[in-house]
Amino acid sequence: MSIEKPFIFDYMNYRTYLSDTLSFMKEENSAFSMRALAAKIQCNPGFFNRILKGERNLMAAHIVELGRVFKFSRKEVRYFELLVAYNHAKRQSERDYNLEQLLQLKKTRVRQIAADQYKLYSHWYYLVIRELLAIMPRLTTLEAYARLIAKSLEPQVSYGEVRDALDHLLHLGVIRRLPEGALAPADKFTASGTRVPQVIVNRFLLEFADLARRSIDGIPKKERRLSTLTFSTSAEGFEKIASRIDEFRQEILSMVANDADPLDRVCHLNLQLFPVTRYERREEPV
């Protein structure tokens, strides 16, 4: 089966694009190799291999040469430049900026899917509204829903923002309109996954991390559970803890799915585990 030529606008990781393009070029010409491509862009083959593995970053001069070798159009060159900047960015604000620029250059259908994902996960209250509709009384107009939801969210969100969110959620199929005009969550559960760019998931995590911080002063202690734990562990111990968190998350989802009592609130649970040191233990010399 022949490999289809990679289309740069389909990619959100330039290393994956380069690997796929190499595979395509090898199929087109069995004599072609990574070493040959590295030579064409005047790059050391070993260094180029480390770029593909994510151990080194592509340099500006290589971007220009790759554009020439791949015969990029001006728009494709610009997209590739932004893609490299997006993948190299360290700060969330830089990734956000580059992502927005990338979305402006994407082809229509791909761009719309990514833009929809970005919108859905860039505002904490979008998926909260979906869950809230499951426990609200049935109304007949979007305006009535927007007014009630705006008063129900904590912290509060404006009527206009809620109204826009309802339109967008309907467009995405995250919520649906019933025959009598009422709104309800769509049957399929919406959750982040591997197809959602990590920068969008990161934005979502930051939104809820900020809500957790604000809940310390804004929500009575008996209505929240916030705690912290600092400990030392081995690499193996860390993986065991991370695995247990994943299992616990699935247990929570199972409890939610099997909750037979009347629903009366929407909650969010943050599970956070991260290192706070860069110390690496080394064996003492004998």
pLDDT value at position 279?
Answer: 64
pTM of the complete model? 0.54
Domain assignment present for residue 88? The answer is yes
pLDDT value at position 196?
Answer: 60
90-143 residue pLDDT tens: 887 888 788 878 877 775 434 444 556 667 777 889 989 998 998 999 998 999
pLDDT value at position 254?
Answer: 86
For tokens 């494709």, name the residue: 76
**Under-70 pLDDT residues of the chain:** 1-3, 107-118, 187-200, 279-286
Domain assignment present for residue 238? The answer is no
Domain assignment present for residue 92? The answer is yes
Domain assignment present for residue 183? The answer is no
Residue 21 structural domain: 8-102
Give the 3-state secondary structure of residue 79: helix
Give the 3-state secondary structure of residue 175: strand
Which two structure tokens, joined as six digits, stand for 53?
Answer: 């593995």
141-154 residue pLDDT tens: 999 999 999 999 98
For tokens 């580059």, name the residue: 98
pLDDT value at position 192?
Answer: 44
Which two structure tokens, joined as six digits, stand for 257?
Answer: 């799915």
pLDDT value at position 113?
Answer: 43
Domain assignment present for residue 189? The answer is no
Domain assignment present for residue 274? The answer is no
B/e letters for 154-168, b = 16+ CB within 10 Å, e = fewer, are eeebeeebbbebbeb
181-200 residue pLDDT tens: 899 988 654 444 445 666 66
Verify cis geometry, omega within 30 degrees of 0, for the bond prior to 155: yes
| CATH code of 84's domain | 1.10.260
Half-sphere exposure of 174 (CA within 13 A, CB side): 23
Number of domains the chain contains: 1
Domain assignment present for residue 181? The answer is no
pLDDT value at position 281?
Answer: 64
Radius of gyration of the CA atoms of the chain, in A? 24
Domain assignment present for residue 266? The answer is no
Q: What is the mean pLDDT of the chain?
A: 84
B/e letters for 186-211, b = 16+ CB within 10 Å, e = fewer, are eeeebebeeebbebbeebbeebeeeb
Cβ contacts of 71 within 8 Å, gap of 6 or more:
none
Cβ contacts of 61 within 8 Å, gap of 6 or more:
42
pLDDT value at position 207?
Answer: 80
